[in-house]
Structure 1
Amino acid sequence: MENGEYATWATLFENHCQAYMVHDHLTSAVDTTLSTAEKALWSRLDALVRQWIYSTISTDLLHTILEPKQTAKDAWERLEGLFQDNKHSRAVYVGAGELKKLAGQLSNVGAPVTNQRLVLQLISGLNESYDGIATILQQSNPLPHFYEARSRLILEETRKSKHATAAGTALYSASSSSDQRSDNSSNSGGGRNSSRKNNN
């Protein structure tokens, strides 16, 4: 799902939730003042909205956002944050998604991966161009949550991409200006030679 597709999906999903009067499950946590029966109803409806989310996104996205004891609001906000962060980036998103999928598989066989190990593994998979942000993350005490670390890496990747684009544009402009000066110089020299011949 790309950013444009996500915007369409999100609009249609919100409309669907509004039609079934469960849109508040995307924006609010359970009200602690509800009675036991009302909380049970809220929990059942929240599970329904979560299932709608899980069943209408790709498997890769599902593995990326899925967490135990997740509410519909949690899933909705993580999905929203993923696409907001991902406007200019794909590499970190893909790598983080694969790592999260592997952690989920280990958890399913009784070997859960802690947030600390997940974040450190994410950092260790980075190349040397990310040494700066990797050091900052490693020295954080406590380590940030996996999703926060992923977001900060995506922001760094976006910054690098913008700098690379700006450098390429500047190089092209400088090259074009140099070519233009060279052409002007050649034309000027040709004009002077022609003038001397005519005078002779």
Structure 2
Amino acid sequence: MSHSTRSARSNPFASSSEAGSLPDPAYIRDVPIFDRVPIKLSHTEANFYAWKTYFNLLFREYNLRDHIDGTTDFLAMRRDEDWLAVDATIIRWLFLTVSKDIFHTVVRDGDDAYTVWTKIIGLFTDNKLQRIVFLQREFFGCHQNDSSIDAYCMRLKTLSDELNDAGFKVGGELLLSTLTAGLNEDLGNAASNLTLIYG
């Protein structure tokens, strides 16, 4: 058995017409989406950057980028049942991983995956200034309170990633100063030491 034949038989994306040209709709349909994207996108949580990153990895992993990058003419693909089936699965993934309010904002019968993806992304990028203001309020107002130090640091890192993604640069010094300012009082000495070490 040649290498190319062996690859075609083990390739889950192989189609009968051209091995590896299109993902197999049945294989894509069975992808455990909540394992691949373990986040529910919401306006009330700072998780857009992580949600988008998980989906971009998923699209690369399963060779699906042509469904969401605008390079494929949806009207030209309407007769390709396999392509339409994969597109429908992507739309289902998007709907299942967003909050109810986002779902009701973007849902419309007849949309392709590219349109749905673009609408969701637009909700978080079209009004960049409003998003930055919201994230800044969350970031600079973040305090440890009852959370563990690990959970507090992770929360600040998540918010800084969101701000960077929105175009507001959060450097290491700003992240450190915000972290130390929000630590509980009993960690005051640790905060001073952190500033001395990394300042």
TM-score by length of 1: 0.39
Q: Which has the higher helix share?
A: 1
